[in-house]
Amino acid sequence: MADTLTVGLVQMRCSEDPEQNLQRAIEGIREAAQQGAQIVCLPELFRTPYFCKHEDPGYFQLAEPVPGPTTERLAQLAMALNVTILASLFEKRTDGLYHNTLAVLDPRRGYLGKYRKMHIPHDPLFEEKFYFTPGDLGFRTFDTAGVRIGTLICWDQWFPEAARLTALQGAQVLFYPTAIGWLPEEEATEGAAQHEAWELVQRAHAITNGCYVVAVNRTGFEPAPPGAPSRGIRFWGQSFVAAPDGTVLARAPIDEEAVLVVALDLRRLDEVRTIWPFFRDRRIDAYGDLSRRFLDDTP
């Protein structure tokens, strides 16, 4: 395994044109690769606006197989640039069955595999349960660029169980492509606290698992539904990288597209896990009730 890894984060706006979004993503990947990135992660569902803001069966036409046309193009790019690409896509598995999926494209081996989002939210303007079936591949890791990475997606980032089970498979870096932001009516009163919670919970994953965390968000305002321009989501950007001690190594701006390239010292993993031996001191004999929904008196 390598001692260092350089990661690239492509924070971008997403238009109504999937091809335009793909080209913007390709430009970001090229920029990151030119700066030395070995793994480049794109935001969640980067080919389209975040269509889950309302329920519309027409959006199912945006889905594609994985592997499929987009992974083929990105695999060719990965080979040309000698970089691993993490691409979040709207997967059509078969008629009537869709997933929110991340594909891993390796520069030498091409398509390595995929992770299907396990936790599916359903909140105002985040109505994903209408579109996505929960993932059935479990929590996954992939060996690429000389390291082992874990791939999770957006809502997964709030669940410590997801981070822990991925880290227990040897993940040195957890990647979270994301589409998250403020509702206009909440931003003034709750916006700062919401963003802080989002960042803190992921920094906590880095600490408790002794690994790096890479969160890649989109930016810009997207109205919803069509014809209601004052209502929608202002994505808060601020993609970031957290070290195993929770330190934020880099953070993108709120309202701008950005490409972050960050070098990670993987030797820090052993140092931090030795100082904070959470894996050693876990009481695995006492955690059986975690498989229960809630602990109450009803059998």
DSSP collapsed to 3 states, the chain: CCCEEEEEEEECCCCCCHHHHHHHHHHHHHHHHHCCCCEEECCCCCCCCCHHHCCCHHHHHHCECCCCHHHHHHHHHHHHHCCEEEEEEEEEEECCEEEEEEEEEECCCEEEEEEECCCCCEECCEEHHHCCCCCCCCCEEEEECCEEEEECCHHHHHCHHHHHHHHCCCCCEEEEECCCEECHHHHHHHHHHHHHHHHHHHHHHHHHHCCEEEEECCEEEEECCCCCCCCEEEEECCCEEECCCCCEEEECCCCCCEEEEEEEECHHHHHHHHHCCHHHHCCHHHCHHHHCCCCCCCC
Q: What is the pLDDT of residue 243?
A: 98
- Give the pLDDT mean for 210-225: 94
Q: What is the pLDDT of residue 89?
A: 98
Going from N- to C-terminal start, the domains of the chain cover: 4-280
* pLDDT band per the 50, 70, 90 thresholds, residue 263: very high
Catalytic (active-site) positions? 44, 117, 154
Has residue 225 got a pLDDT over 80?
Answer: no
Has residue 297 got a pLDDT over 80?
Answer: no
Select the CATH number that applies to the domain covering 4-280 from these four: 3.40.47.10, 3.40.50.620, 3.60.110.10, 3.40.50.300: 3.60.110.10
Instruction: Give the tens place of pLDDT for each residue, 140-151.
Output: 999 999 999 999
Mean residue pLDDT of the chain comes to: 95
* pLDDT band per the 50, 70, 90 thresholds, residue 299: low
